[in-house]
Amino acid sequence: MMTRFIVCIGISLFLCSCSSTKNWQGTSNSQVAQAEFKELNGKQTFTLHVPDNDTYLAYQFKETDGQLEAIIKSASERIFDQKIESSEADSFHLVNQKGAEYKVTIKGKHASGAFYVRFESSK
């Protein structure tokens, strides 16, 4: 009986620690991750795969309320990791990385805003 109670409490705590978001409107696939959102609490992670040997990974992050942090990393390095104060936009040139995996993580505390991360063939 006590074991069941402890398991129920553990599951409840786990579920409470998950992400929650209001008004999430976005799409993602292996080439693009984008969304507009309100009240992001927790984190969302997206996986992108480099489509060509010579491409750019372009990003735009916008925070309109709360605290927002964005991370872009490959298996070997973090190419972007910072708190977003209002907006950040740039791109990184990727050479000979076709098929490589990049993770985009958005972390928020009562955060509202938008992001757009995509591959572009040229600058």
Tokens matching residue 13: 């705590």
Distance between CA atoms of residues 61 and 53, nearest Å = 25
Is residue 3 a part of any domain in this protein? no
- Please state the rounded mean pLDDT for residues 9-15: 44
- Name the residue type at position 89: A
- The 10s digit of each residue's pLDDT in 37-89 is 999 999 999 999 999 999 999 999 999 999 999 999 999 999 999 999 999 99
Distances (CA, A) of 9 to 5, 17, 18: 6, 12, 15
Is residue 9 a part of any domain in this protein? no
pTM reported for the whole predicted model = 0.80
- The 10s digit of each residue's pLDDT in 101-116 is 999 999 999 999 999 9
Is residue 36 a part of any domain in this protein? yes
Q: Label residue 1 by pLDDT band (50, 70, 90).
A: low
Is residue 86 a part of any domain in this protein? yes
Say which CATH number the domain at 38 has. 2.60.120.380
Is residue 73 a part of any domain in this protein? yes
Output DSSP code: residue 70: E
